Structure 1
Amino acid sequence: MGILGVTIFALGIAVSIALHEAGHLVTARVFGMRVRRYFIGFGPTLWSTKRGHTEYGLAALPFGGFCDIAGMTATDPLTAEELPLAMYKKPWWQRVAVMSGGIVVNILIAIVITYFVAVLAAIPNPYADRTPRVGELSCTSDQVDAENVADCTGTGPAGRAGVHVGDELIAVDGQRVDSFYDLRDYVMERPGETVNLEVRRGREELSIPVALDSVQRIDPTSGQTFAAGAIGLTNDAMASFGPLEAAPASLRFTGQMMRATAEGLVAFPGKIPGVVASIFGAERDVSGPVSVIGASRAGGELVERSMWEMFWMMLASLNIFLALFNLVPLPPLDGGHIAVIFFEKIRDAFRRVRGLGPGGPVNYEKLMPVTYFMASLLLVVGVFVMVADVVNPVRLFG
């Protein structure tokens, strides 16, 4: 099952990349541009076929893909037949639409995946209060198998101690609580102990001692049981939806994923030193960047445990990452091309104010040092992440 999961997730990544490039191809053709090549992968060609004016193919290095559109820049050599179909000769908004085509497709893939998971299983509730607020007081009981716990009654440790639904969690034993995961991880390591829970109730802050229960849990890796602390608090974390209500819920949750991904991209450069250190034995940051290798391995772990909802949502999240990463306004990314187009548009607006004509296409040869630098940087970072995913991979389940 693990190998199956790795294979399916790797295939999902390949399909996502193929559809991204198809977004460029289709929009280019809609606006009458000539598409020379549509390839998945880089490097030596493994297979190709020609249909009309376009060569379709697979290349040896499966780390992306490309859609070669005639005249993407004014320095692109063109045949006499290609000249009137050149991309740089088209209106600015058409060029932006073509460069945004792949980004839009990745976002649509994420929305579609989220929709079907919301209808067929459950997604993180997009309408839930994301502050660590008590949504429900529950009893605690032993785990009987990988997915189920024994029946129980009562309000559980937190309810007995005086915690109320709606209380906002502030800290546990003086340690700040930012999410339910923080509290869960802390109490699991303290079966039978008493912890001091600080909560905010309206304008009042309370300190409530809670005697934790000791329950049996099953280690997902070894299958062995162990004693874990339990506090009996939950919030409205997951939700399933009907076919109609799933549409707005999927859009809302996709938006939340986009915001979280944007924050992750901002933090991305700061996580690279940790990835490099992990190659030499340092602990790997679970929230750090992973490559195709690491993502596929994680997908295998999820399938091995029949956690298909998380599998598909991870693929949806990956598509959001591909979309936003390509929006970064630096060449050779799509966002770099879009930034150049907007620069030309803004520059020409200022020239009109001065009574001058359009300034013509940007000379991409002057941007080549930036392009080469960024391409080299992405390659080096990618190699480091892939090596880390081989020698010290991120493990979802220990």
Structure 2
Amino acid sequence: MVALLTTLGIVLLFLGLLLSFAWHELGHLATAKMFGVRCTEYMVGFGKTLWSTRRGETEYGIKLVPLGGFVRMVGMAPPGKQDTSGKPPSRWRAMIEDARDAYNAEQRPGDEGRLFYTRAPWKRVIVMAAGPVMNLILAALLFSTVLMGLGVHEETNEVGTVSECLVSVEEATGECPEDAEPTPAAAAGVQPGDRIVAVAGTATPDWQAANKEIREHTGPTEMKVERDGETVTLEPDLVQNELPARDADGEIIYQTDERGRDVYDDEGRPVPETETVGFLGITFATERQTMTAMETAGYMGDSLVLVGEAIVSLPSKVPDLFGAAFLGEDRRADSPIGVVGVSRIGGEVLSQPLPVVDRAVIMLTMLGSVNLFLFAFNMLPLLPLDGGHIFGAIWESLRRKAARLFRRPDPGPFDVVKLMPLAYVVMLAFILFSLIVLVADIVNPVRLLG
């Protein structure tokens, strides 16, 4: 049964990734057709075509390598200026013209009014931004389903477990030594299921308030709890303990280096700051709670910031990733993962003995995060990414407006093909990075659940 669930999880998340790629390309296709651009191909994947069908003037299909997709639009590049010097073209120039020929290979008589580069710059921006925006929309739908529909586990002011004795982390084996002192909670008679409603005379309607008041007091402290419908007053003798530091919202504060980046331990986990605070000896119970639309939007905004930070940090992770793939080094928990890694984690999640809702939440959240990454990554102003074409269209618009302002001749369309040599460098780097990720995902995968 575990093997079946694992396989099903891998297939489901893999299909979710393909859907994300197809959804992205649908944005390009729909807007290009809306503006009259002829589109000859709509493909999910790269390389050899596994299946295709033609509908009207467009061929739809699936290719072998599932690392994205593309829509082939006629006239992506303007015609180049004819070289009348008679000199053989330089290698750089030859590379540019080869790219131009590839872009315009499917142009045919009658396409003059349907070429991509002839569309107004704002239309080209819409066409190229539509793909990433579709990923953003899908991410919003997935996160809304999880956060506003299914809900996520949130800590409450109810006591979940009570630690029996005071022992260090190194000594904690699940059983209390005979000479160990009881925790303040155990000594005061705190029981699982108690709901902490006040600490030291301060009302604690939620876990943040209860946790904050406990951490701010030491010594004998009055604590009121609700138990079986009645209010019970207890007086635990709180002790001091070194615990992870928390901010005003109860979130753990993690260590950062001199450049403001998170510090990770050898296993890739962020290292928390610590502080000496009051200690009771309990864990709070959790319950599934939904979020409002504003809270969901805030969560997505925070997630998008984290995705941006992750993209910026990608180059710094290459040495560790290479070591994990080829040198047998440990794979860090924050290591980049690809299609194989994400799909494998889907199998891991679905095979766990967790409630169905919890497994659905994890998988939908992962797919939503992938779509946020696709949105942010594709908006980078680099060719051949969508952001590179968006940058070219915006630059063309600014040049033309400046020319009109200073009464100069129209500079014409921006020749994005002149940047193709740089695009080849970006593509090569992406291919090499993808290959390293693929090897690491196969031989040394990241395990979400340990």
Return the TM-score normalized by structure 1. 0.76
Cα distance in 2, alignment partners of residues 124 and 360 from structure 1: 56
Cα distance in 1, alignment partners of residues 27 and 449 from structure 2: 36
Matches within 5 A, 1:8-157: 8-74=12-78, 75=100, 76-77=103-104, 78-123=107-152, 136=157, 138-140=159-161, 152-154=192-194
Shift in Å at residue 123 of structure 1? 3.9
Alignment CA distance shift 1:44-1:164 (3 Å): closer
Cα distance in 1, alignment partners of residues 332 and 28 from structure 2: 35
Aligned length: 336
Matched, 1:240 2:269: no
SS of residue matched to 1:165: helix
Cα distance in 2, alignment partners of residues 20 and 288 from structure 1: 25
Contact 2:38 2:115 in 1 (8 A): yes
Matches within 5 A, 1:337-356: 337-356=389-408
Contact 1:114 1:123 in 2 (8 A): no
Matched, 1:264 2:310: yes
Cα distance in 2, alignment partners of residues 377 and 73 from structure 1: 23
Shift in Å at residue 288 of structure 1? 2.0
SS of residue matched to 1:167: helix
Alignment CA distance shift 1:328-1:48 (3 Å): same
**Residue identity opposite 2:299 in structure 1:** F
Alignment CA distance shift 1:197-1:56 (3 Å): closer
* CA-based RMSD: 3.1
Question: Counterpart in 1 of 2:212?
Answer: 167
Q: Deviations over 1:208-251 (max 9, x none)?
A: 35364xxxxxxxxxxxxxxxxxx4257x996315xxx4x44433
Shift in Å at residue 177 of structure 1? 5.6
Give unmatched runs, 5+ long, in structure 1.
126-133, 143-150, 184-195, 199-206, 213-230
SS of residue matched to 1:112: helix
SS of residue matched to 1:140: strand
Stretch moving more, 250-259 or 100-109: 250-259
Moved over 6 A (4+): 168-172
Cα distance in 2, alignment partners of residues 164 and 118 from structure 1: 23
SS of residue matched to 2:64: strand
Question: Counterpart in 2 of 1:226?
Answer: none
Contact 1:137 1:165 in 2 (8 A): no
SS of residue matched to 2:414: coil
Matches within 5 A, 1:380-391: 380-391=432-443
Identity %: 32
Contact 1:41 1:58 in 2 (8 A): yes
Stretch moving more, 32-41 or 346-355: 346-355
Matched, 1:329 2:381: yes
Select the residue among 351, 368, 373 that pairs with 1:304: 351
Alignment CA distance shift 1:36-1:65 (3 Å): same
Shift in Å at residue 260 of structure 1? 1.6
SS of residue matched to 1:314: helix
SS of residue matched to 2:42: strand
Alignment CA distance shift 1:334-1:50 (3 Å): same
Contact 2:389 2:416 in 1 (8 A): no
Alignment CA distance shift 1:104-1:256 (3 Å): same
Cα distance in 1, alignment partners of residues 290 and 209 from structure 2: 26
Cα distance in 1, alignment partners of residues 62 and 160 from structure 2: 55
Alignment CA distance shift 1:164-1:362 (3 Å): closer
Shift in Å at residue 256 of structure 1? 2.3
**Residue identity opposite 2:361 in structure 1:** E
SS of residue matched to 2:53: strand
SS of residue matched to 1:340: helix
**Residue identity opposite 2:368 in structure 1:** A
Shift in Å at residue 363 of structure 1? 2.4
Shift in Å at residue 343 of structure 1? 1.2
Contact 1:103 1:327 in 2 (8 A): yes
Alignment CA distance shift 1:208-1:45 (3 Å): closer
SS of residue matched to 1:68: strand
Cα distance in 1, alignment partners of residues 195 and 290 from structure 2: 25
Matched, 1:396 2:448: yes
SS of residue matched to 1:67: strand
Shift in Å at residue 112 of structure 1? 1.0
Q: Deviations over 1:249-308 (max 9, x none)?
A: 433322222122112111221112111111222221212210000011111111112421
Cα distance in 1, alignment partners of residues 33 and 381 from structure 2: 24
Question: Counterpart in 2 of 1:253?
Answer: 299
Q: Deviations over 1:306-335 (max 9, x none)?
A: 421011111011001011100011000000
Cα distance in 2, alignment partners of residues 249 and 302 from structure 1: 26
Shift in Å at residue 182 of structure 1? 7.1
Cα distance in 1, alignment partners of residues 48 and 209 from structure 2: 63
Q: Deviations over 1:162-184 (max 9, x none)?
A: 9963639899738656844979x
Give unmatched runs, 5+ long, in structure 2.
79-99, 164-190, 203-207, 217-239, 256-272
Matched, 1:293 2:340: yes
Contact 2:241 2:279 in 1 (8 A): no
Contact 2:116 2:124 in 1 (8 A): yes
Q: Deviations over 1:16-54 (max 9, x none)?
A: 100100110001111111111001111111221111111
Contact 1:197 1:209 in 2 (8 A): no
Alignment CA distance shift 1:237-1:80 (3 Å): farther
Question: Counterpart in 2 of 1:274?
Answer: 320
Contact 1:70 1:87 in 2 (8 A): yes
SS of residue matched to 2:62: strand
**Residue identity opposite 2:32 in structure 1:** A
